[in-house]
Amino acid sequence: MATLTMVQAIARTLAEEMERDERVVVLGEDVGKRGGVFLATEGLLDRFGPDRVIDTPLSEAAIIGAAVGMAAHGLRPVAEIQFADYVFPGFDQLATQAAKLRYRSGGQFMAPMVVRMPSGGGVRGGHHHSQSPEAHFAHTAGLKVVVVSTPYDAKGLLKAAIRDDDPVVFLEPKRLYRATREEVPDDDYLVPIGKAAVRREGTDLTIIGYGTSMPEVLKAGEELARAGVSAEILDLRSLVPWDIEAVTRSVAKTGRVVLVADAPRLSGVLGEIAATIAEELFDQMLAPPVRVAGFDTPYPYAQDKLYLPTVTRILNAAKQVLEY
Amino acid sequence: MATLTMVQAIARTLAEEMERDERVVVLGEDVGKRGGVFLATEGLLDRFGPDRVIDTPLSEAAIIGAAVGMAAHGLRPVAEIQFADYVFPGFDQLATQAAKLRYRSGGQFMAPMVVRMPSGGGVRGGHHHSQSPEAHFAHTAGLKVVVVSTPYDAKGLLKAAIRDDDPVVFLEPKRLYRATREEVPDDDYLVPIGKAAVRREGTDLTIIGYGTSMPEVLKAGEELARAGVSAEILDLRSLVPWDIEAVTRSVAKTGRVVLVADAPRLSGVLGEIAATIAEELFDQMLAPPVRVAGFDTPYPYAQDKLYLPTVTRILNAAKQVLEY
Amino acid sequence: MVHETLPVMGTEWFQPFTEQPIALLSEEGEWIGDFPLDLDEALLRQLYRDMLAVRLMDERFTVLLRTGKVSFTAPMAGHEAAQVGVAHALRRGHDWVFPYYRDYGLALALGVPLVEIFGQMIATRADPNKGRQMPCHPSSRPLNIFAAASTVASHIPPATGAALSMKIQGTGQVAVCTFGDGATSEGDWYAAINFAAVQRVPAVFVCENNRYAISVPYSCQTATPTIAEKAHAFGIPGYHVDGMDVLASYYVAREAIERARAGHGPSLVELVVYRYGPHSSADDDTRYRPREEVELWRRRDPLARYQRFLARRGLWSEEWEQQLREEIAREQAEAIEAAERAGEVPAEWMFDDVYAEPLWHLERQRALLRAELQ
Amino acid sequence: MVHETLPVMGTEWFQPFTEQPIALLSEEGEWIGDFPLDLDEALLRQLYRDMLAVRLMDERFTVLLRTGKVSFTAPMAGHEAAQVGVAHALRRGHDWVFPYYRDYGLALALGVPLVEIFGQMIATRADPNKGRQMPCHPSSRPLNIFAAASTVASHIPPATGAALSMKIQGTGQVAVCTFGDGATSEGDWYAAINFAAVQRVPAVFVCENNRYAISVPYSCQTATPTIAEKAHAFGIPGYHVDGMDVLASYYVAREAIERARAGHGPSLVELVVYRYGPHSSADDDTRYRPREEVELWRRRDPLARYQRFLARRGLWSEEWEQQLREEIAREQAEAIEAAERAGEVPAEWMFDDVYAEPLWHLERQRALLRAELQ
Ligand SMILES: Cc1ncc(C[n+]2csc(CCOP(=O)(O)OP(=O)(O)O)c2C)c(N)n1
Ligand SMILES: Cc1ncc(C[n+]2csc(CCOP(=O)(O)OP(=O)(O)O)c2C)c(N)n1
Ligand SMILES: [Mg+2]
Ligand SMILES: [Mg+2]
């Protein structure tokens, strides 16, 4: 058992999976000698060689699209998009090729691939090193979508994603890459896609979050506890499929919910979950579901920290639902 | 006053705007001699010449991106994407360039442009001639998003979009291009972006729809009327900004709401509106907001008609909220 | 699965980047190649049979359209020599093919069962793709024909990826990817071939250049005189070929494919063709194409030229033609019947194959539809 | 707004597609051009001053980084000759420039006020872009410098569009667009230049080829020996130029720009340079670049070569150098001070300029933040 940061856990997991299954290959910009700009692929080139660790030209369409072809042909590619913001030049390959291949071929072909990408803000990255584009993936039928927030989950979910027979978009909040260390077991465990984690049990309200904003969510939970309020905290971890059971179980119990994530609010994933809660738990709700999302601006540079849901903003929302 | 189909109204409006303002230019695939595959640009080439009606190479990135540069440089480009499904190869140009230019330059540059695209299903077009990708635009700060459903609105909103100083994505449900005719005034009227239309007044429940699904929504309204139920029907028309006043006014009155659109359900625009209603009108709601959306599958071919929200499905949802 | 053994080439016969398109047959049907024709009679005749079958299938499609049985067609008349030539140049069922929507002639010549082709066109249970796509979207797992998507050029990056996988796994396969002239303007086309060239993958990129992308003429598509010379951007050879000449199409494709198989990397093959029909059944090409132009190209009909070639060699006769036409007509009629007999695609199939296993939200939606339909 | 009148060229001096990069100065600083140098002494000296100012600014950036005043830098040392050469080849304030993130040298030589440059780097109110972007994203409306975006190659289609607008409106302007070697692999790069070539727009596409995209070496980026030859894919000329030679950079860019202005369409100019520093302040280039390689290129320093040229002509002296360095240091120090003095960007500016007028949902969000901050 090692104590690892999230990015270390990811690098180890990639190595383990490549060791386990020779069909697993890694491709992307700077994944070779550089080991990835965040070092998520550090050491892989030396260990597995240039046939399985491929530095690609600077084209996200080529990366994602090639991964589709590799996967259809029998490999298990893990593609890295250097920053989630740069997925858009390759978005058609995800939406048109990866997401629809199984369906359009009547199940004849499949694209078992993972597209990893550092996402989210809080690192003074401005417009193009801060975005959280998960809603675009969640709205694209045929993709599974995972957003991790701990080293332990990063390992277990990445393994699950690599072994999944469908294309999985795997978002890694870059702000959390080195934010904390955690004990990560050496053994070959999986965290199933589609299951939320209860990060704190509680009875007065539910706070649902994922990814980049989890530290603030947890801090808000602690502050509430100090104020005598018992918050149940869920980390969604998977957005497609999302864990409706865990969510409804908790919200049915507490009757109050705050949803938190840093992606823009309009037509985001939180809207989906809030709307579903409103539809399913109408009678059990003691207050309206309140969302604390990113602002509907391009991600700013100077106000980097203010863009993200702050603890204050989460607490204000909690107050709102508690005092409703 | 002429009686026009929606696509005729669009073609006329383009001609009128090009006549009015010589900065207005049209570009896209087949917009020249062919007049567009739906004839939305018919006659423009003859009238305005190849400098203002530009047949482009087959690249949506080139089309949208060039429009950004033309707009920044002082023209008012109206770009056509042949089918909304094909916006994805050019999505980065929308998200990175068009949407963020004003913001990132501190207001120094702007991209006053319109990207028109036929969207939606119901024409046996399969995966790639049927999609309704509005959620992707709505989730992209910096874009305005319009979806028309009548010839009258098509004219007034297209004029408003062309004169708007921001990039406007203008969705035209292809199933409605020739579905009906309507009197369209000859004069130069505008329909403001951001205002919904009340298509039917009612008191028992509100049905909110837009675009491709409006005919079914209206039919459901009629059926309900026959059954003695008074439905208020809103056509959103604009998704960014969407008309929160009209929506809350109506739903506060009826206390019941069904939301209808053909785009996939997960993380769609309906989720945004349902979640907002749930948040704002918690106390006034007599039943949970129910969404009738497209299914979360790629758009199928054989089941073309079943994919779209049917009148039955809308009525079932209405029943659900009425009997709640 | 069909495995053809192809003659092994000793030399490379063709020059890249020629100004004139490479042709091996004169318009009169004479062999004008400067190397010996090494194909046996059976194959020479099969090429003709396939071209004829494609032409007749194209006509069938139009009939099916008129009778309302299919909703859409993408005419391929004029592309027969190119598609049939390429189909025979690769190892069927071994190599992979990445076709586009105008390639049912390619699919036919690759051996896709007619009942599957018509099943796909009509969208019945005979379609191995379960009626998921519009007509004219070939796909066959057993024959390694990657499911076509409508989005122009979107299949080029996957072709590069499959070829990269072939290289990594050392399978001795080649990925052959076809597309139109319009496709060459998409960024994905360029990005993918650039990657293929860097990795020297076993791929051949084949452009069926009919000089129109719907109505957009070649002159609005690109400023290069040929598509072939775009290969300079990748550092790979580009061949400019007369695609109305089935033997030129076959031999150049074969050389490019075997070069790739031998580890010499990808190439770009431009087959200059003409589409005799409109872009699709939804198109009206009189709006943008002068009739004289169409007539001019009709006089260069790839079937007629090759027929003259065969006739010169005593491999063609009126009788044989008659017999072929009857056989083909019968096969196609039977296939259509069988495809129709297979019956409609069930409504609930809509929810299958989105993912490997069903997800809860889709199962709910399936239940909703089931309730509605009952 | 600065309008320079450029000498009108009678002839075209340069050949496209040379194997050897075009150079006008030997490493020893001799003029080796086969046409007469037509620049006056003031301009010759200004080129040097600008290059030196860029080099010193690069060092300033590093200092600001160390002291925590800026969060990021993209070193441009090694690119000075290329950037300064191009800046002087266009009509400042008339032509448009589409730069990328390594182009603050270009911006400086184009005349962007230093206080704006440092304002943008530090993100204070002195930044005309209101602190919206990371450091190293030039933009100036008065100087027609299109706001850079981080997304590699995403500015190429807008450059084509602006040039098309210039052509349509007959403004006599040219759009000059710069980017790195890595950018040439993006599909948008190709799609946009293809469109530009078809429309023969007045644009010049300039590649600052430093042979690395972060760590990815040129050999993994593309299989063509040069970037210039990719111009074949568009049917336009491609010039392979020694970008460590400020006069070669200047003259080739000038010819390409004036060709474009005269209506002869776009061209591609490849300036071969080397980046002396890491990719960015977040990079560690020792992981992928041998030190000997860096040393080799350091010996080809563009400033030293040009200094030798000037010295040969009696246009450079130790004294002048000293004086320049002092002047530049003072200007930059003052600019930094002024930029800092301008003060922090207010929190609420976050909500401005998303749209021309405020929309309701943003006003609500503004109110939310305001409440939180009070
Ligand atoms: C990305 C994309 N944009 C637009 C279309 C609409 N469209 C379908 S076919 C076509 C023209 C294609 O021309 P070409 O590549 O030359 O092939 P051809 O049909 O001539 O064989 C267009 C524009 C599409 N299918 N995909
Ligand atoms: C679309 C996109 N993908 C990835 C990145 C991350 N990235 C930033 S710079 C860079 C390398 C660019 O190299 P090059 O174009 O050669 O320019 P250079 O930095 O060498 O001057 C990469 C991959 C990006 N900014 N945009
Ligand atoms: Mg074509
Ligand atoms: Mg570089």
By CB neighbour count within 10 A (0-12 exposed, 13-18 middle, 19+ buried), where does A46 fall?
Answer: exposed
Span C22-48, average pLDDT: 97
Residue D324 confidence (pLDDT): 98
Residues of A in contact with C165 (CB under 8 A): 69-70, 73-75
D140 in B contact zone (CB under 8 Å): yes
Query: Ligand 2 center to residue A63 CA distance, Å?
Result: 14
Tell whether D211 is within 8 A of chain C (Cβ): no
- Residues above pLDDT 90, as percent of chain C: 96
How many other C-beta atoms can be found within 10 angstroms of the C-beta atom of residue C152?
Answer: 27
Work out the end-to-end distance of chain C between its first and last CA atoms, rounded to an integer number of angstroms.
42
CA distance B71 to B74: 5
**Measured between CB atoms, which of C133, C182, C187 is closest to B89?**
C187
Query: Residues, chain A, total?
Result: 324
Mutation test of the interface with chain B: which of C209, C215, C351, choosing the one with the most B Cβ atoms within 10 A?
Answer: C215
Look up residue A320 and give its amino acid. Q
Tokens of C230: 């775009």
Nearest Cα residue in chain D from B27 = D161
Q: What is the pLDDT of residue C9?
A: 53
Confidence at residue A1, expressed as pLDDT on a 0 to 100 scale: 83
C182 lines ligand 1 (CB under 6 A): yes
Which ligand 2 atom minimizes the distance to the CA of D186? 1
Tell me the average pLDDT across D146-155: 98
Contact B291 A279 (CB under 8 A): yes
Return the closest-CA partner of residue C243 out of C268, C269, C271, C218: C271
DSSP symbol at B175: G
Do B207 and B225 contact (CB within 8 A), yes or no?
no
C47 lines ligand 1 (CB under 6 A): no
Q: Does residue C335 register a pLDDT over 70?
A: yes
Distance of CA C289 from the midpoint of ligand 3 (Å):
13
User: In whole angstroms, what separates CA C49 from the centre of its chain?
Assistant: 16
Radius of gyration, alpha carbons of chain A = 19
- Decide: D290 and D215 in contact? Cβ < 8 Å: no
Compute the Cα dihedral for C275, C279, C285, C287 and give only its sign.
negative
3-state SS, chain D, equals: CCCCCCCCCCCCCCCCCCCCCECCECCCCCECCCCCCCCCHHHHHHHHHHHHHHHHHHHHHHHHHHCCCCCCCCCCCCCHHHHHHHHHHCCCCCCEEECCCCCHHHHHHHCCCHHHHHHHHHCECCCCCCCCCCCCCCCECCCCECCCCCCCCCCHHHHHHHHHHHHHHCCCCCEEEEEECHHHHCHHHHHHHHHHHHHCCCEEEEEEECCEECCEEHHHHCCCCCCHHHHHHCCCCEEEEECCCHHHHHHHHHHHHHHHHCCCCCEEEEEECCCCCCCCCCCCHHHCCCHHHHHHHHCCCHHHHHHHHHHHCCCCCHHHHHHHHHHHHHHHHHHHHHHHHCCECCHHHHHCCCCCCCCHHHHHHHHHHHHHHC
Q: Would you call B139 and A280 a contact, using CB atoms and an 8 Å cutoff?
A: no
3-class DSSP assignment, residue A24: strand
A296 neighbourhood in chain D, CB within 8 Å: 354, 361-362, 365
Catalytic: which of D125, D288, D300, D313? D288
The answer to whether D275 is a known catalytic residue is yes
Residue whose tokens read 């500016």: D349
**142-201 in chain C: CB under 8 A from chain D:** 185-191, 194-195, 197-198, 200
No. of helices (H) and no. of strands (E), chain A: 12, 14
Look at C161 and A244 and tell me if their CB atoms are within 8 Å.
no
Profile chain A (324 residues) by mean pLDDT over runs of 10 residues. Answer: 96 98 98 98 98 98 98 98 98 98 98 98 96 98 98 98 98 97 97 98 98 98 98 98 98 98 98 98 97 98 97 98 96
Band the pLDDT of D10: cuts 50, 70, 90. Answer: low
Q: Is C180 a pocket residue for ligand 1 (Cβ < 6 Å)? A: yes
Q: What is the mean pLDDT of chain D?
A: 96
Query: Cα(A247) to centroid of ligand 3, in Å?
Result: 52
- Model pLDDT, residue D9: 53
Would you state the structure tokens that stand for residue B154, as one six-digit string? Answer: 């098509």
Calculate how close chain A gets to B213, using CA atoms only, in Å: 19
pLDDT tens-digit map of C146-203: 999 999 999 999 999 999 999 999 999 999 999 999 999 999 999 999 999 999 999 9
Of all residues in chain C, the one with the smallest CA distance to B306 is C347
- Chain centroid to Cα A181, Å, comes to 18
Contact list in D for residue B241 (CB cut-off 8 A) is 359-361
Test B29 with C216 for CB contact under 8 angstroms.
yes
pLDDT of residue C7: 47
Tokens 């907001």 found at: B289
Output the residue whose Cα is nearest ligand 2's atom 13: D213
pLDDT at position D12 = 82
- Could you tell me which of A258, A273, A237 has the C-alpha nearest to residue A322? A258
Nearest to D162 among B57, B73, B164 (CB): B73
Measured CA to CA, the distance from residue A213 to residue A260 in angstroms comes to 7
Contact by Cβ (8 Å): C56, C104: no
pLDDT of residue C367: 97
Q: Which of D200, D223, D233 sits opposite C230 (nearest CB)?
A: D233
User: Whole-model pTM above 0.95?
Assistant: yes
Task: Tell me which residue has tokens 């955690």.
Answer: A182
The first and second tokens of residue C176, run together, are: 């052959």
For chain A, say whether D150 makes contact (Cβ under 8 Å): yes
Q: Is C143 buried (19+), middle (13-18) or exposed (0-12) by CB count in 10 A? A: buried
Q: Which domains does chain C have, with CATH numbers?
A: 41-343 (3.40.50.970), 347-374 (no CATH)
Position D6 scores a pLDDT of 44
H and E: helices and strands count for chain C? 12, 7
Q: C212-213 and C216-217: which strand pairing?
A: antiparallel
Contact across the interface for D222 and C235, Cβ inside 8 Å: yes
- To the nearest whole Å, the CA of D161 is away from the closest chain C CA by 15
Residue D111: the pLDDT is 98
Does a cis peptide bond (omega within 30 degrees of 0) precede residue B241? yes
Assess whether D45 carries a catalytic annotation.
Answer: no
Ligand 4 mean position to D257 CA, how many Å?
A: 23
Cα separation, A269 vs A236, in Å, equals: 11
**Is the Cβ pair C132, B128 closer than 8 Å?**
no
Nearest CA in chain D to C227: D233
Angle at C140 (CA atoms; ends C185, C282), nearest 5 degrees: 50
Q: How many angstroms separate the CA of residue A75 from the nearest CA in chain D? A: 21
Cα dihedral C140, A23, C165, D216 sign: positive
Which of D275, D276, D305, D306 does the annotation list as catalytic?
D275
Q: Are C257 and C177 in contact (CB under 8 A)?
A: no
Length of chain D: 374
Does residue C67 surpass a pLDDT of 80? yes
Ligand nearest the Cα of residue C79 is 1
- Cα D119 from Cα D137, distance rounded (Å): 11
CB contact under 8 A, B271 and A275: yes
Name the average pLDDT for chain C.
96
Distance from CA of A11 to the nearest CA of B (A): 29
Cα angle value C173/C177/C179 (rounded, 5°):
170
Below-70 pLDDT ranges, chain B:
none
**B154 near B234, Cβ under 8 Å?**
no
Q: D236 CA to chain C: closest CA distance, Å? A: 8
Out of A82, A129, A130, mutate this one to test ligand 2's pocket (max ligand atoms within 8 Å of CB): namely A82
pLDDT tens readout for residues D86-124: 999 999 999 999 999 999 999 999 999 999 999 999 999
Q: Which of C130, C188, C368 sits opposite B89 (nearest CB)?
A: C188
Which residues face C329 on adjacent strands? none
Best residue for ligand 2 mutational test, from D100, D133, D152 (most atoms within 8 Å of Cβ): D152
Distance from CA of A180 to the nearest CA of C (A): 33
Tallying the residues shown for chain C, one arrives at: 374
The phi and psi torsions of B292 (rounded to 5 degrees) equal -120, 100
Counting as contact any 3 or more CB pairs under 8 A, the partners of A are B, C, D
Residue C125 in contact with partner chain B when CB distance is under 8 A: no
Nearest-by-Cβ selection for A104 from C133, C175, C352? C133
pLDDT at residue D3 greater than cutoff 60: no
Residues with CB under 5 A from ligand 4 (ion): D 180-181, 210, 212-213
Closest alpha carbon to B172 in B242, B125, B116: B116
**Cβ C214 under 6 angstroms from ligand 1:** yes
Question: How far, in Å, from the CA of D283 to the mean position of ligand 4?
Answer: 13
Q: Which of A171, A168, A158 is nearest to A20 (CA)?
A: A158
Q: Residue B1: what pLDDT?
A: 83
Asked whether C279 lines ligand 1 (CB < 6 A), one says yes
Question: Whole-angstrom Cα distance, residue A179 to residue A199?
Answer: 17
The structure tokens listed for C220 are: 């609005």
Ligand 2, atom nearest to B92 Cα: 1
Between CA D116 and CA D129 the distance in angstroms is 9
CB contact under 8 A, D151 and A297: no
